[in-house]
Structure 1
């Protein structure tokens, strides 16, 4: 995962690179190198302050002073190798600090370390140059100079990694040469950091989130001068490629390729002494420019700025800002445009005070004057969508201002015709179910594996998907199967092996369309580990793989062995990996993302990403019509602009933010697991709790275990059928005696203002995001401790009767949970092909049949009417969607037969909300006469 890209421990045995002869860092207490770096500087600040104080006292015994000297030296040893990958404070500063330490200049050392630490914690080094030792005309305390005005004037800062084997003097000259090329009109400012080998370059782009460009020079070795066994794990993350035996002349190109796999957003510039014309034809996609031999530093400087500018550009946001500054007269719609109706008002001026005027100056329904139409984009919106496609690895990207619910319906309508069969994850978002109704699809529901003890579902096993496709193949209906629709990742954090699912499904049906609902997974593109489980990344991967000769050879060998097996035996297909025919398989992949849920965008800002080989020839016109059908003719331009600006952010700092997001979730896991009172009443669900062992081929059980430390999860993410998104922290709360909904409202929200939006019977879900801070995690831990302490005190003061009541509540939440019901079946009136053949149903027909009230009646669960009807053998068929919340998935859809298991599950749930169910009336179901008429009409 992204911050796992920084993780350097493997069950307590990992290490951070250290210089030869120095002590190796022990990271058992830290999830990532960035966490170690931050904590390391704070510890060094405290240690040097104490050391300076002891020296100035003059009364300390020598052994006391020696104790602090050992501590400071150890901390310097820990930070020294890490800082070699950062421009600030950097390797030269570490040498200065060590010199101060050796010379016993402890007061100067403490002062300098304090300045560095404050600059790192406040990010002030990004806004101005920080002198390690203040000059005479510089303020001693740099904290006061960090004004809002200065921050507004400051240019964005980044770092450029230069890969070359240089002496300290050569390194200083190179960095100074680039710094001398700065101009006042430059839009950005950067500093260079020099690393000396192939391995150092890889570790640098994973450690240093400030890096935006890499200059790869020639003549550097493969191996690092540091002792870094952890790098072997990083190299494994690049896939099957081996880089150790690369000829020296090919190291530069190979490094550019490797960096592109780890961080595709980075610009790479090659400096070579070989034929640039020959190399240019082999350059990878992220290589922006090749320079021959001794580069022109000004040209390199300008290219670096130009590359970052291309990501910084926000076509529509900029156009909207420019429009808001123009003097205009509004003589059509929208009185609120330019804020006129607010400024004239005597009664709603507080609205203008609250929001500020810019939002109203930018509010318009105009599509001219430098703006654009979302429905027919040709200008800045079109360019903004093209930049988003580049950022997210798509062929086409479309913005949506109605949320991902609308995106899902657009894609389904564009691709699915009436009577097409669609395989759908049954516990997916309700928009998909309604989308099936609108499209007229024949729905074939797939059941996820149940997590009965937590009242939630996992995800759909690949074996189940393949089994269903084979059933349609044998029934002669495979040509009608149009789409596979899955949620990745699920609300609870279960993530599919996207590559494996698409590979094996294409082996059975080569033209199958995939719709991946990534509503909660938009951030995943910007972390090396997460990226490999995203739809767009794997679409591109499969496209390239099917074109390659190596895959074709492997396929031919696999096919020769497969043809020897019995094709009618299910085990032939289900018990071994399948490989699609590269000549027949078509890569057709769609992903819908709620940008506003996981990245920076206004509410309802979403994107549709497409990588479909047949889009231009088969889908483009239908997609355009579907987009026009569901998109408002008055889209909110503020939402569109926020999507544009959100794309800019993740291209330039998504790696950093996602890295920290994962790190904070890991810290939360650790603190809950190791805190004595928290671990008594709460437990974070682990991978082994949420993913059965059969789907965890790596054997990884937890990200963190007390006494064992952090697990290296790369192997799990690379190969397991399902993995757990670390940013989702599912907390089991059954031992508190409160159900999830009560815990959410009575404890977290009402008392402490902590917002969450997902609970189950005995769990609550906390999600970190790119806006989460360490202080917010600390506050959550503090609140959980208070809740646990209050519960502890209440139980201590309880009578025997009260304690027995609490124990019974706990048992009902932990032990007496109803099993989750599977999808039963569609009634025969809405089936075509016979009950025993295939399970799809015409949900649209059932949905609109219920519009006539005479076709429906209510059967009450409370007075026994419903039980009596089922007891006499009646097939009770739902006419509506029935959705208990929590858990929030439909347990009945129109046309579905009510089973005894579903009825028992509804009775066992003590939730307040069951959408579609009216307790005073009962379940709305079809009359027997309506079903008979529907069956007759079908025939």
Structure 2
């Protein structure tokens, strides 16, 4: 399928606009036009922005906007042209923008107002539309480049004999095997041929990129609005740890959202940092953890001026997004670096309904799981850096400490391709997903048995004035009127209708819409929900998940507790009751009920009786929840805690 590339020519001068559109389209007919460039016209002003945000067949493939500044001395037309440029930049930063000027005096004005986002200039007096066409075509071709993927394809096509790792030799070990030959057919020849070794120099090195990987990362940085971007092939989990080790030395203080992903808490252990845990807000009715209240963040920043780092998760698993700009401004005013875990929000840059992104709000670092909503393979993630004091050498050393010396090249290629797709058609695909989300909200609500929760339903009371927004691509469905338990409903959807949901709480299901969501999938989902609703089961009362205890205190640094041998004490005493012997002891491990994946205990934390009671109740009443971090000893669950001798020997927090 050949691409279509539309160029929007914007001018208040209708005659000039018509001439340029005709000139560019005539050039497209004469010259090589493999990218399918076609010019269309639009008057300046509000109509331009409407055209840029349209998803009609004409504008769905818009890639370039050419804005006429106006004829000589036309300051009255020049100012609106620059304002139009600014509005386009704000709405669609991935578009290429060219300004048409009368002379260099106009250029000075444009550079003052919009220079960072202007990709180039043309001059009104020149009518070399062949030249304009070539420049625009080259700009689009550069955006559409996939340096690493292209190099990988080219190398595989050369069919080199493999005398290096991996051992399957491009898939040859599977061929003809009566035992594993089907794996070759299942995975595919090209995937196996592309599973190569670092022995291939033309494919560059992820650990020290100087060639095609470096070029691909540079294109990604431009696409996502970063100074630097790094590809990670072992997930955002590792990306978070790398940043922690780069910014934090043992004993350095950081502020962190207690409901951060467990990789953040692992990063605390590895870096030896001194954490200040901030309790998140909680929607107790639905068992959903929300953002940390803005007042809590402000108080923590004021109380800990010596903190080096603040890390928050935005958006959350359930789609709740902080109003980041004022929070980041507060942190920066105190000299605190800001990391935003955007694992679930890597798509936001490419649709105005989802922006601003963390980087656009001033974050120093953002980590993104490019595989979650965009088209990269699982484990493929990116680290985006805007820190003005960034130490690239130190970051690289920490990155290489965690990265494999045998990276999977198919993952790197998928990041290259996912970036290209996001830039070239992300807006159209996300707009489709957002329309599907709106449609599903209406249809699911109309069943009478299910209801999609809105922002006000999801927000805990303590954050309702904090300017929090919702990512509409994440649908949380209240199932309490359906008569099903969450586990039953999830099993019905997968067993009867072949539909796998993202997650559930005791009375909700979560659906994730991505750029891979199709009309057929939407129809099948709605049909399944409607059929289940027609069974008209009586509404049921749901036993609430026990409320997670608030954070207690740290007796020592998490790293110090984690690396001690400790001793294992049972969660239950001999009478089957919560073990009172655990009260006052110091936990060595991270204890995480999953879902939702938020630690109840972290290494170094003092255990209180209500925490033990909570864990016991979860084990006894919530069969669908796993408790990560407990030790199984002789068939009983145990907690690893510091021995009294270890605790006395450790320095206090």
Q: Distance in 1 between matches of 2:131 and 2:12?
A: 22
Q: Which residue of 1 aligns with 2:562?
A: 847
Range with bigger deviation, 916-925 or 774-783: 916-925
Q: Which residue of 1 aligns with 2:497?
A: 752
SS at match of 1:598: coil
1:211 aligned onto 2:33:
no
Q: Which residue of 2 aligns with 1:302?
A: 134
Q: Distance in 2 between matches of 1:660 and 1:256?
A: 25
Please give the per-residue CA displacement for 1:816-862, whole angstroms capped at 9, x wherever unaligned. 55333211222x3x2xxxxxxxxxxx11111122x34xx33223168
Please give the per-residue CA displacement for 1:136-185, whole angstroms capped at 9, x wherever unaligned. xxxxxxxxxxxxxxx3xxx3102111112466x87665433322212463
Deviation of residue 293 (structure 1)?
A: 1.9
Deviation of residue 612 (structure 1)?
A: 0.7
Q: Which residue of 1 aligns with 2:366?
A: 591
Q: Which residue of 1 aligns with 2:5?
A: 158
Q: Which residue of 2 aligns with 1:863?
A: 575
Q: Which residue of 2 aligns with 1:535?
A: 358
Q: Which residue of 2 aligns with 1:457?
A: 289
Equivalent of residue 812 in structure 1, options 534, 542, 553: 542
Q: Is the 8 A contact 2:348 2:355 kept in 1?
A: yes
Q: Is the 8 A contact 1:452 1:818 kept in 2?
A: no
Q: Which residue of 1 aligns with 2:473?
A: 727
Q: Is the 8 A contact 1:389 1:609 kept in 2?
A: yes
Deviation of residue 522 (structure 1)?
A: 0.3
Deviation of residue 758 (structure 1)?
A: 1.7
Q: Distance in 2 between matches of 1:893 and 1:938?
A: 17
Please give the per-residue CA displacement for 1:508-538, whole angstroms capped at 9, x wherever unaligned. x22x111111111000011123221x22112
SS at match of 2:202: coil
1:415 aligned onto 2:247:
yes
Q: Which residues of 2 match residues 604-643 of structure 1 at below 5 A?
A: 604-615=379-390, 619-643=391-415
Equivalent of residue 150 in structure 2, options 314, 318, 323: 318
Q: Is the 8 A contact 2:248 2:273 kept in 1?
A: yes
Q: Is the 8 A contact 1:161 1:192 kept in 2?
A: yes
SS at match of 1:878: coil
The alpha-carbon distance between structure 1 residues 695 and 466, as it changes in their structure 2 partners (threshold 3 A), is same
Q: Which residues of 2 match residues 389-408 of structure 1 at below 5 A?
A: 389-408=221-240
1:284 aligned onto 2:115:
yes
Q: Is the 8 A contact 1:856 1:879 kept in 2?
A: no
Q: Distance in 2 between matches of 1:825 and 1:858?
A: 22
Deviation of residue 330 (structure 1)?
A: 2.0
Q: Is the 8 A contact 1:451 1:690 kept in 2?
A: yes
Q: Is the 8 A contact 1:198 1:255 kept in 2?
A: yes
The alpha-carbon distance between structure 1 residues 369 and 824, as it changes in their structure 2 partners (threshold 3 A), is closer
Q: Which residues of 2 match residues 178-257 of structure 1 at below 5 A?
A: 178-182=24-28, 183=30, 185-207=32-54, 208-219=59-70, 247-257=76-86
The alpha-carbon distance between structure 1 residues 902 and 736, as it changes in their structure 2 partners (threshold 3 A), is farther
Please give the per-residue CA displacement for 1:691-735, whole angstroms capped at 9, x wherever unaligned. 2466444xxxxxxxxxxxxxxxxxxxxxx5311111111011123
Q: Distance in 2 between matches of 1:326 and 1:886?
A: 47
Q: Distance in 2 between matches of 1:337 and 1:280?
A: 56
Equivalent of residue 917 in structure 1, options 630, 635, 640: 630
Deviation of residue 279 (structure 1)?
A: 5.5
Please give the per-residue CA displacement for 1:24-52, whole angstroms capped at 9, x wherever unaligned. xxxxxxxxxxxxxxxxxxxxxxxxxxxxx
Please give the per-residue CA displacement for 1:256-301, whole angstroms capped at 9, x wherever unaligned. 2221121111112222334466457545233222222243111111
Q: Is the 8 A contact 2:65 2:96 kept in 1?
A: yes
TM, length-normalised to structure 1: 0.64
Judging by fraction of residues, say which structure has more helix.
1
The alpha-carbon distance between structure 1 residues 596 and 376, as it changes in their structure 2 partners (threshold 3 A), is same
SS at match of 1:486: strand
The alpha-carbon distance between structure 1 residues 383 and 868, as it changes in their structure 2 partners (threshold 3 A), is closer
SS at match of 2:7: strand
Q: Which residue of 1 aligns with 2:455?
A: 687
1:788 aligned onto 2:639:
no
Please give the per-residue CA displacement for 1:308-332, whole angstroms capped at 9, x wherever unaligned. 1111011100110111111423222
Please give the per-residue CA displacement for 1:861-902, whole angstroms capped at 9, x wherever unaligned. 6834535447xxx42443322222223222122232333443
Equivalent of residue 897 in structure 1, options 606, 618, 622: 606
1:934 aligned onto 2:647:
yes
Q: Which residues of 2 match residues 445-844 of structure 1 at below 5 A?
A: 445-472=277-304, 478-479=305-306, 481-507=307-333, 509-510=334-335, 512-532=336-356, 534-539=357-362, 589-615=364-390, 619-673=391-445, 675=446, 678-679=447-448, 681-692=449-460, 695-697=463-465, 720-744=466-490, 746-790=491-535, 792=536, 810-813=540-543, 816-826=544-554, 828=555, 830=556, 842-844=557-559
Q: Which residues of 2 match residues 255-266 of structure 1 at below 5 A?
A: 255-266=84-95
TM, length-normalised to structure 2: 0.91
Q: Distance in 2 between matches of 1:358 and 1:189?
A: 28
The alpha-carbon distance between structure 1 residues 469 and 369, as it changes in their structure 2 partners (threshold 3 A), is closer
Q: Is the 8 A contact 1:885 1:911 kept in 2?
A: no
Q: Distance in 2 between matches of 1:742 and 1:360?
A: 39
Q: Which residue of 2 aligns with 1:576?
A: none
Q: Distance in 1 between matches of 2:122 and 2:80?
A: 16
Q: Distance in 1 between matches of 2:89 and 2:471?
A: 23
The alpha-carbon distance between structure 1 residues 884 and 652, as it changes in their structure 2 partners (threshold 3 A), is same
Q: Which residue of 2 aligns with 1:270?
A: 99
The alpha-carbon distance between structure 1 residues 622 and 861, as it changes in their structure 2 partners (threshold 3 A), is farther
Deviation of residue 500 (structure 1)?
A: 1.0
Deviation of residue 350 (structure 1)?
A: 2.6
Q: CA RMSD in A?
A: 2.5
The alpha-carbon distance between structure 1 residues 338 and 296, as it changes in their structure 2 partners (threshold 3 A), is same
Q: Is the 8 A contact 1:516 1:591 kept in 2?
A: yes
SS at match of 1:514: strand
The alpha-carbon distance between structure 1 residues 277 and 530, as it changes in their structure 2 partners (threshold 3 A), is closer
Q: Is the 8 A contact 2:568 2:638 kept in 1?
A: no
